[in-house]
Structure 1
Amino acid sequence: MICKSCSRVLLPTDIRKSFLESFKRPMTYLQRKSAKKKVWEKCKKVSVCPYCSATNGMVKKCGLLKIIHDQFKKTGKGENPVLTDYLSSFEAAVESNKDLEAMLGKNQAVLNPLLVKRLFESISNEDIPLLLMNSSVAHPKDLILTRILAPPLCIRPSVVSDLKSGTNEDDVTMKLTEIIFLNDVIQKHRATGAKMQMIVEDWDFLQLQVALLYNSETSGIPLHMQPKKYTRGFVQRLKGKQGRFRGNLSGKRVDFSGRTVISPDPNMGIDQVAVPIHVAKVMTYPEKVNDANIELMRKLIVNGCDVHPGANFIQQRHTKIKRFLRYGNREKIAKELKTGDTVERHMMDGDIVLFNRQPSLHKLSIQAFFAKVKPHRTFRFNECCCNPFNADFDGDEMNLHLPQTEEAKAEAITLMGSKANIVTPRNGEPLIAAIQDFITGMYITVKCVLSYHANKTPKWLLIQWSLF
């Protein structure tokens, strides 16, 4: 979009004015995008700069990190007079060095980063709106990196190696070390007057190392510059299933949660889940001590960690120090309990828990239930509730979360309670409903009751009734 000689936007004065007028109005993102495309299409057609009369051609990518400017594009069948004049200026040089003759046919100028930076710096503030940029906030020269931020040590921690003495440094640290080393090599070569070819090779290698720091899966690297071992760049740390967003932020390991196999239990209500005692002893709720519950809390403290219902920790109101109740004199601690202290008690019957089966594909894949502490080692719930979770009992596992505040509990049971989500919000169909053997059992029960009242109870129905 800009002239490769004077850095002005390649638009004639009249078109330029009309564009500047239209760009003064506020635009949405899509409007800005289409406006930029219009400017680009107009500039593409201009081959001679209206301001300095320099010839401009196509700019294209060549190889991995090279950008070339095809200045003299051929027009029609005849010779381009500007190109002829340009080539004739090299006659004296070709006479003394015949190797240059083969190179002249290509006549493509390489736009190296320094040249591009110089061009971007020369772009005037009047032209920046035509590039759909805001001159008060940014300038095209900011697009060229001249410095690299070194991230803090917590981003690239060292790992102490057991096998060999010393430490294993993080991939980012290694890349930054290579970049600093190559920078020094280039400075030494310049100071000692090394061949230009060597400096250019070092420079290309430096650019590649910077590219690999950001994205280690950069494609099109020449064979002689291929990295010896795979490293993880910043892009790799963020993207994909194991990346920062999907792996560590959207789905992460959390406290106050349990996971085990699920089983059916038709004796559970549709808003109940049976929790094994093993889980209930580990998952705790911070109960604030008040006049109404102080006696119960004392009993729980005396029971301690190993007896359910019990408590694992106590936090005194003033000291804020947590005490583990497996050790120490629990009777004494229970006597000293005061209003305002916090007791981390075991999960008990009636606690509100969040029940979830992965993959959580819709809102109803995670719902709130009332806990019912039972023996054995599986989570058990009513088969009517299988549909929203898409659960079956062939070895499926489910997650249980225990909300840690009264507000969270109230919110969970009101918005996410299974009784508040019997009907799907998608189309009004019932999701929690009787299925399969329930229907048969219900049919037989109803038929038995009707027959009994009509005093026409057949023998086979009486047998069925007694079995049911």
Structure 2
Amino acid sequence: MPKEQFRETDCIRKMYAYHLNYVSNVSFGLQSPQEMQQQAHIHVVAKSLYNQDIQRTPIAYGVLDRRMGTSQKNSNCTTCGKGLSDCVGHFGYIDLELPVFHVGYFRSVINILQTICKSCSHVLLPPAEKKNFKAKVKNPDIPYLAKKALRKKIQDRAKKINICPYCKAHNGVIKKFGMLKIVHEKYRHVKKAEFSDAVEANPEVESVLANASAHILNPLEVLHLLERIPDEDVPLLLMHPDSGRPQDLILQRLPVPPLCIRPSVVSDVKMGTNEDDLTMKLTEIVFLNDVIVKHRQSGAKVQMINEDWDFLQLQCALRGFVQRLKGKQGRFRGNLSGKRVDFSSRTVISPDPNLRIDQVGVPVHIAKILTYPQKVNKANIELMRKLVMNGVDVHPGANFVEIQGTAFKKFLKYGNRKKIAQELKPGDIVERHLMDDDIVLFNRQPSLHKLSIMSHRAKVLEHRTFRFNECVCNPYNADFDGDEMNLHLPQTEEARAEALILMGVS
């Protein structure tokens, strides 16, 4: 049978799909305020953290309420009754007194407002064009990038329409203004000549004409506009009414994450606890809600309530979970990737064109510290005796000997090495120094693809740097301006074989 020139990549997957009911796709949507409430266990309303008692118990309906889980070993979650290691945590929610913009969806809100009428909320396209675009959008086979381009086309077309085809209202430019604010320049397209009568009657009008056409849309107005978008227009915004309505882009309710995500740490220095930054932000949001309610009831000035609202907006744009995970200071790169392990070394790298591409020059200083547990057998017993005689300080030597059947190791820096060497027998384990042609793993961070860690053969050399052939710089993305690299010594025959066959440079 001749060799196949081409084989479809997902034929096995299709075959499985035929036999099994397996997941065909996953779709992501927006979390509506109703869903937030359904997923939550409590409504957080209390602005204090602890009761004024000796045990410092968390206040009920506060952001540290034990119904959302626990962050202490000695207390259990009151929702599921499990301890710290078993309870997965439960969400709560905070109702915002006034809606605010979601910092992550702010750009999307502006894009929608540029597409719809700022009076009747219809998409600013004549009925014939609307019908044409809708047919294209609803095509299930359209690829993602084509969909994106289509959305841009609809937006660009809508931007050019100044009079709404449905309610005849004026529509102007929508743009970002300052910090998390949106401005609508409603009469920007209207010629100054059209205001000439007003200017003649009242000359002071001319100086304020430029600013008079601009109106700042607050989150409440934007929410009302998004709520009134007809269902048949939602697909033109490339949204699906089932997985998220446009009004869900505005925050009216805030989920409160479980306690295990934002633990309280009991302070040793002073009496009390150190609270997580998310906990403190949520407390401030509850406090601001309270302030807004009091100002409304006492009939405070609109200006004062607007200031409270701006402050609430600022607090709700808090640093989320994604910011804790991503980037150089995040959990993955900052706390997990940089772990140090046994049988590894790290030093500066330099080039050596005399080495083969599968070799790495290892300083003799490192070779004396990194060891490999070699089992003694008839073939290597003489070599092992010689290495034991050399001991810790002479390379090639050995650092420890483990006698078969015992768990304890003999350190070769002290004691009678000649006697230990003579008593060596097959089955004993000698922890010998790293030697020429040993299989080692060589790695440069950041490890971005699988070629960032490959296996080389060691070549023990003088001096203090790892050396390798310049031809191997590309996969590691290495240069010799002070870069450092890691070297790991596999500890079993199986690991050595895997490294050589699966990860070999050549």
Residue 431 of structure 1 corresponds to none
- How many angstroms apart in 2 are the aligned matches of 1:285 and 1:279? 13
Alpha-carbon distance in structure 1 between the residues aligned to 2:296 and 2:149:
46
Query: In 2 relative to 1, CA 406–189 (structure 1 residues): closer, same or farther, beyond 3 Å?
Result: farther
CA contact (8 A) 1:263 1:378 kept: no
Distance 1:395 1:246, change over 3 A: closer
RMSD: 5.5
**Correspondence 1:333-372 to 2 at 5 A:** 351-356=438-443, 366-371=453-458
Relative distance call for 1:120 and 1:348 in structure 2 (3 A) is: same
1:42 aligned onto 2:130: no
The amino acid of 1:253's aligned partner reads K
Answer 1 or 2: which has greater helix percent: 1
Q: 1:366/1:108 Cα in 2 relative to 1: closer, same or farther (>3 Å)?
A: closer
- Do the aligned residues in 2 keep the contact of 1:271 with 1:369 (CA within 8 Å)? yes
Q: Residue 142 of structure 1 aligns to a residue in which SS?
A: helix
Deviation at 1:206, TM superposition (A): 0.7
User: What is the alpha-carbon distance in structure 2 between the residues aligned to residue 50 and residue 272 of structure 1?
Assistant: 73
Shift of 1:168: 3.5
Aligned residue identity for 2:345: G
Question: 2:338 — aligned with what?
Answer: 252
Q: What is the aligned counterpart of 2:143 among 7, 15, 28?
A: 28
Cα pair 1:284 1:346 within 8 Å, conserved? yes
User: What's the CA shift for 1:204?
Assistant: 0.7
Mapped contact 2:367–2:433 kept (Cα < 8 A): yes
Q: 1:100-149: CA deviations, max 9, x gaps?
A: x9799715433211221122122222111111222332221121122333
Aligned to 1:238: 326
Contact conserved, 2:398 with 2:430, CA < 8 A, in 1?
no
Q: Is the 8 A contact 2:174 2:185 kept in 1?
A: yes
Asked if the contact 2:353–2:470 (Cα under 8 Å) also holds between the matched residues in 1, the reply is: no
Distance of 1:15 and 1:199 partners within structure 2: 43
- Aligned mate of 1:54, from 160, 164, 169: 169
Counterpart check, 1:207 vs 2:313: yes
The count of corresponding residues between Structure 1 and Structure 2 is: 361
2:183 paired residue number: 68
Letter in 1 for 2:296: R
Residue 329 of structure 2 aligns with an amino acid whose one-letter code is Q
Counterpart selection for 2:487 from 394, 400, 404: 400
SS of structure 2 residue aligned to 1:65: coil
1:398: how far off?
A: 3.8
Change in CA separation of 1:42 and 1:164 when aligned onto 2, cut-off 3 Å: same
Q: CA 1:117–1:264 in 2, change beyond 3 Å: closer, same or farther?
A: closer
Q: CA shift at 1:278, angstroms? A: 7.3
Q: When the two structures are superposed, what TM-score results if normalisation uses the length of structure 1? A: 0.58
Instruction: Give the residue type in structure 2 aligned to 1:110.
Output: I
Structure 2 counterpart of 1:195: 301
Structure 1 residues 309 and 201, CA gap change in structure 2 (3 angstroms)? same
Q: 1:389/1:366 Cα in 2 relative to 1: closer, same or farther (>3 Å)?
A: farther
Q: Tell me if structure 2 keeps the 8 A contact 1:261–1:398.
A: yes
For 1:213, what is the secondary structure of its paired residue?
coil
Of 131-140 and 357-366, the range deviating more from structure 2? 357-366
Cα deviation, 1:265-305, whole Å, max 9, x if unaligned, reads: 99988755576787568767799x99999x99xx9xx99xx
Q: Name structure 2 gaps, 5 residues minimum.
A: 1-114, 199-206, 412-426
What is the distance in 1 between the residues matched to 2:279 and 2:136?
48
Aligned residue type for 2:175: K
Residue 399 of structure 1: SS of its match in structure 2? Answer: strand
Contact (CA 8 Å) 1:74, 1:80: kept in 2 or not?
Answer: no
| Whole-Å separation in 2 of the counterparts to 1:165 and 1:324 | 47
> Is the Cα–Cα contact under 8 Å of residues 351 and 470 in structure 2 kept in the other structure?
no
- The normalised TM-score by structure 2 is 0.54
Q: C-alpha separation between the residues in 2 aligned to 1:371 and 1:153? A: 49
> What does residue 118 of structure 2 align with?
4
Larger radius of gyration: 1
The one of the two structures with greater contact order (alpha-carbon pairs below 8 A, sep at least 6) is 2
Q: Does 1:388 align with 2:464?
A: no
Structure 2 vs 1, CA of residues 352 and 68 (structure 1 numbering), >3 Å: closer, same or farther?
Answer: same
SS in 1 for 2:487: strand
Q: Distance in 1 between matches of 2:355 and 2:208?
A: 87
Q: Which residue does the alignment assign to 1:118?
A: 224
In structure 2, distance between residues paired with 1:395 and 1:45: 55
Percent of pairs with identical residues: 55
| CA contact 2:362–2:467 (8 Å) conserved in 1 | no
CA gap of 1:259–1:153, structure 2 versus 1, over 3 A, is farther
- The answer to whether the 8 Å contact 2:365/2:464 transfers is no
Distance in 1 of aligned mates of 2:125 and 2:470:
66
Matches within 5 A, 1:24-423: 24-25=138-139, 26-79=141-194, 106-153=212-259, 155-158=261-264, 164-213=270-319, 235=323, 238-239=326-327, 241-244=328-331, 247=334, 252-255=338-341, 256-260=343-347, 271=358, 309=398, 351-356=438-443, 366-371=453-458, 378=464, 385=469, 387-389=471-473, 397-403=484-490, 409-418=496-505, 420=506
Report the residue type matching 1:410 in the other structure: A
The alpha-carbon deviation at position 45 of structure 1 amounts to 2.9
Flag structure 1 segments of 5+ consecutive residues without an equivalent.
85-100, 215-232, 317-321, 327-338, 421-468
- The AA in structure 2 aligned to 1:175 is K
